[in-house]
Amino acid sequence: MTYLQRLRLAAIGSLLLGSAIAPAVLAQSATQQVQYAAGLPIATLGDANYRYCSQPQGESDRLQGLCFLFRKQGDEIIGQYFEPYTERSICLHGVIQTSSVSGFARQQIFSESENVQVPDRLASDTLAPWDQSSGYLMLAQGRMLDFDGESQLAGYSGTALFPVAKLDLAEFYRYNAGSTLPPQNCELE
């Protein structure tokens, strides 16, 4: 049951008992929900599959912002960080550090030319954002591992490895894990 469903149920129960919920109590409850969703350390989660997104879930149940679908096993995390409703994603394998994951990442990179390259900002030794507008996922030391050749859909593609990757989930919101499973690994096939 979602927080909004619980709040609606409480309001209905309160009305049935002949009282009303004070607006200040509702506002305080909503604030507590946002803090809970955004502040729960992933290190405290049990071993299971999870989905977190950078924006709160709306009424439509559509994924919002950037999302991370992952499997937690002990302090190990394997997951897919992605921009919903696009083909843009990257696989991350690492260990938990409170509300962040540190490890390595692997991504399929597409190009219109045969010269498939890791962007310069992600190839350096200095951490740089995967998505320049958010900065949740920081990568460094990226290099191309292989060239997959010509693809019918996107031109050319290759596999890139980022041996230094850090994803900060401290301000993310927990969603229902859904029916899509996280990747089993981020290794090369």
Q: What is the mean pLDDT of each run of 10 residues along the chain (189 residues)?
A: 36 33 35 44 92 89 92 96 92 94 92 79 92 92 78 71 95 90 83
Q: Closest Cα to residue 180, out of 82, 54, 108, 92?
A: 82
Q: Closest Cα to residue 136, out of 176, 186, 100, 177?
A: 100
Q: Model's pTM, two decimal places?
A: 0.75
pLDDT of res. 148: 65
Residue type, 158: G
- Give the helix/strand (H/E) hosting 140: strand 137-140
pLDDT of res. 161: 94
Specify whether the CB–CB gap between 21 and 6 falls below 8 A: no
Alpha-carbon radius of gyration of the chain: 20
Q: Provide the strand spans (E) within 11-73.
A: 48-53, 67-73
The two beta strands, 173-175 and 100-111, are unpaired
